[in-house]
Chain A
C-alpha cells in the first residue's frame, strides 16, 4: 500500500494534455509531409528545427514569468535591445564573442530584474510594467541604432548556421536548456518554490518562501533567455539587426499557452512547451506551403492563442462537471461570511490583493 502510494506520488511525464499535443504534432507532420515534397529534406529539417528551437526558447522566457503569475510583454524588446548592445560591442568596440556574449546575457538579466524590481517593490501589475519597458527598450534600440544592422564577426555564425546530423546547433542547445528547465521545475527547491509562488502567493509567503525574490528571479531568468535568443538570432542571420525580436512576443505566448502553461500561474509543462513549439512551427510552415497570404499571419497566431485558451477552459469546465468534488469546494466559503472583507487575510504587508479604496486625495 505505502509503496503504491509512493509510486503514484509523481505526475507521469505524459499527461493527457501532452498526449493530445503529441497526436496533434504527428497528424500535422503527416499532413505536411503529404502536401509538401520537401518536408523531409535535410534542408527543411535543419531550418524547421532551428525555428522550433527559437519558439521554444522564447516560450520558456514567457512561461517562467507566467509560472509566478505574471507575464513578460518585453521579451522581444529585451532581445532587440540586447542585439543592439551586441552590435555595438562587436562593431564599435571590437570585442570578441567571449566577452560580448556574457555582456549581452548580463544585459538581459539586468533588464529582466528591472521589470521584476518594479513589479515587486511598487506592486504594479506585470502586464503594465513590462508593456512600458517594452516600449522603452524598443525606442532605445531604434534611437541608438538608427535602424541599420551592425556587422558581427564571421565565425560568430557557427552555432546559428551549422548543424549536428542535420539538426541545428541552436536546437541542440535549446533542448539542453529545456532539459535543465524540466529538472529545475520538477526536482529543485528553487523551481518548486517558483511554482508554489504562482500557485498561491499568500500561502507561499506563510510557508516562508520569499515570494518577491521568486518573482524577481523569474523575470531575471526571462531576461537572460531573451538575451540568449538575441545572441542565437544574430548568429543565425549573420548580423545584429535591430528589428530582431519584433515578432517574438505573440509567438512566445502562443507556444507557452498551447503547451499548457497555466495563465494563472503555478503550472508549467516542459513536454508541452516542446510539443507546442513543434505544432507552432508546423502550422507556420504549413501556411507557407499552402501559400496562404502572409498578411494574415497575425490573425492566425492570435486565433491560435485564442483557440488554445478556449480549449483549455472547455476542458476545465468538462472536468469539473465530471468531478463534483471540485464544484463542492467552490461553494461559498461560509467561514468568512461574517468577517470584514480585506481582513480575511489580515492585511498582509504588500500583497497583490486589492486594497481599500484610498481615502481622500
Chain B
C-alpha cells in the first residue's frame, strides 16, 4: 500500500481536451473526493487511472513505481480497482460466484470448481463489507445497495488497495448509503485509498477528507473538506471566468406568453413546475446533473404524460398526449442532449435528417409523393442558412463534425416552424468555432425570429451569456429564479446561482 500520484496527465478526444495536465496525490487511509460539473473530466481521469483509457501524456506512480496500465486487467493486478456507478453483476449467478468471478480458476481442480472453498473465501469479503446474505444466494434477489456492496467486496477480493468509487450512491436508498459510508470508514481505517466521485454535496462533506475540483479538464484545486465552505466549493465547480460578451439584447415580449405551466408534476421527473416562457425570450434551465431539467423538458414534449398540472401554449390549454401533438399541433420542438443516440439518423443523409419533419407537409395530396426538388431546395436553404459544412446534401451526417451535426439537429426543428424550442446541452462536444456559431444561432432565433427558447445547459458561461432569465433546478424542483441577466454582471449572476445551489436543504444536492 502506498501513494498513488499522477502528474501532468492529459487526454484529448477529437475536438476536446478531456483532461488537461492534472496532477494529484492519493494517500492510503484517505477518502479523496473528486468533484466537478458534468463533462469536467472526472470520469475520463478515473478511466485513465484504471487503464481503461491511456493518457496522451503525463506519468503515474504507485507505491514508488511507475504505473502505466494498458488495460483494466493491469490496473487490477497492481491493486487499483474501480466500482462503477452502474451495477455490474451477473444476475443469475450466486453472490459468491460474482465476487470470485475472475478467480474461479484458483478454486478449481481439473476444471471442477470447489464450491465450498469458494463460498468460504467469498464469505470473508462479504463480512468485510457487511453484506449479510448467504454466499449461495443468487444476485438477482439483492437490492441495489447490496449489489453495490458486492462490487466493493469484489474489489477487496482482488486485493485492491486503491478503490475508485464512481457515484456509488446513485441507486441506493438513504439507509443503504449510510451502510456504505460505514464501510468506507472501515476501509479507510485499514489504510485503503479511496477516491470518491459524486455530485451530492452533503454526501461528499459527510465522507471525504479532501476534495479536489475539476473543471474543463483542469484541476482547479484540492482542499481539506473541513476547511472548504460549500459556497466556495460550488464556486470552484461552476465559477469559470466570464465567457464571451453577450451577443446582444433579447427583448422578451411583456405579455405574449408562448408557454406556461402550472404545478406540472410527474413522478420522478418534475414537482410542481410552474413557469412561463415569453416570445423572444431565452429561458435558461440551470442545475447540477440529474436536477430535473431534461426530465421537465421531456414531460413538456409529451414523451410521458404529466400526473397533474397544466400546460398552456399561447394562452390556451394544451393537450399533449404524444410527441407528435407537441410537435405538429403546438410547434414545440426539443433538441436532445444526446445528438448521436437519439437526435440524428447517423447513416442517413444530411437532407433526410433536415427534412424529416416536413415530409408530410410537402407531399402530394393523393399520390403521397414527396417532391424531390422541393425537398432538396428546402434542405439546401436551411443548410446554407446555418452554414453547415458538408460535401453535399447526400453526405451521411456521421461524417460531419460535432458542430455541424448539432446545426443539423437544430435545423430540423426550424424547418418545422417550431415556435418554442427546447435546446438541451447544445454545445457539448463541439469545437470552439462551432460553439460560437451555435450561440449566435440560438440568440438570433429568440432576438430576431421572436421564438421562445428554453436553454438547458450545464455550462455556466454559456447559460449566463445567452439567457434572458434563469430557472435554477434541484431535486426535480425549480428552487429559484434569476431575472434580468442582461443588466447584471457575470459575477453577480454566478454568485446568485451559487447561493441558490448551496443553500442547505437538509436534503442531498443534485
Contacts and interface: CB of A to CB of B under 8 A. Distances in A.
Contacts of A342: 86
Nearest to A343: B290
A359 interface: yes
Contact of B372 (A9, A262, A325, A345): A9
B394 interface: yes
Nearest to B16: A334
Interface string A326-361: 101101111111111111111011000000111111
A9 B347 contact: no
Nearest to A265: B347
B117 interface: no
B85 A207 contact: no
B140 A358 contact: yes
B369 interface: yes
* Contact-size category for B: 35 or more
A200 interface: yes
Given A6-B376, A202-B341, A266-B347, A341 B85 contact: yes
A189 B370 contact: yes
A339 to B, nearest CB: 6
Contacts of B340: 329, 333
B343 to A, nearest CB: 6
A189 B363 contact: yes
B370 A340 contact: no
Given A5-B380, A187-B369, A266-B347, A337 B170 contact: no
A340 B170 contact: yes
B13 A196 contact: no
A208 interface: yes
A346 B289 CA distance: 12
A187 B372 contact: yes
A206 B323 contact: yes
B324 A339 contact: no
Given A338-B43, A340-B290, A341-B85, A200 B342 contact: yes
Contact of A9 (B301, B341, B380): B380
Contacts of B199: 338
Contact of A203 (B86, B301, B344, B370): B344
B412 A334 contact: no
Contacts of A204: 345
A87 B224 CA distance: 84
Contact of A199 (B341, B348, B357, B375): B348
A345 B425 contact: no
Contacts of A187: 368-370, 372
B338 interface: yes
Nearest to A351: B342
- Which secondary structure characterizes the binding site on chain A? loop
Contacts of B393: 5-6, 8-9
A333 B323 contact: no
Contact of A334 (B13, B143, B347, B394): B13
Interface string A48-89: 000000000000000000000000000000000000000000
Given A187-B369, A333-B429, A359-B143, A338 B40 contact: yes
Contact of A335 (B39, B303, B323, B349): B39
A188 interface: yes
Contacts of B171: 356
A211 B337 CA distance: 20
A10 interface: yes
A358 B323 CA distance: 28
B398 interface: yes
A188 B368 contact: yes
Contact of A189 (B14, B359, B379): B359
B483 interface: no
A230 B199 CA distance: 61
Contacts of A325: 398-400
B352 to A, nearest CB: 7
A335 B425 contact: yes
A356 B89 CA distance: 11
A195 B352 CA distance: 10
A337 B52 CA distance: 13
Nearest to B84: A341
B38 A339 contact: yes
A342 B338 CA distance: 12
B341 A2 contact: no
B392 A8 contact: yes
A190 B399 contact: no
B423 to A, nearest CB: 13
A267 interface: yes
Contacts of B341: 200, 202-203, 344-345
Contacts of A208: 322-324, 326-328, 357
B85 A200 contact: no
B481 interface: no
Interface string B390-423: 0011100011100000000000100000000000
B298 interface: yes
B351 interface: yes
A210 interface: yes
23 contacts: A4-B392, A5-B376, A5-B392, A6-B376, A9-B376, A9-B380, A188-B363, A190-B368, A199-B346, A202-B341, A205-B323, A267-B347, A331-B14, A332-B13, A334-B44, A335-B39, A337-B42, A340-B167, A340-B290, A346-B298, A348-B303, A349-B303, A357-B140
Given A208-B322, A329-B340, A345-B342, 4 more contacts: A6-B380, A11-B394, A325-B398, A338-B36
Across the A-B interface, give the 8 residue pairs with the lowest CB-CB distance, nearest first: A202-B342, A208-B324, A9-B376, A335-B428, A337-B43, A6-B376, A8-B392, A208-B327
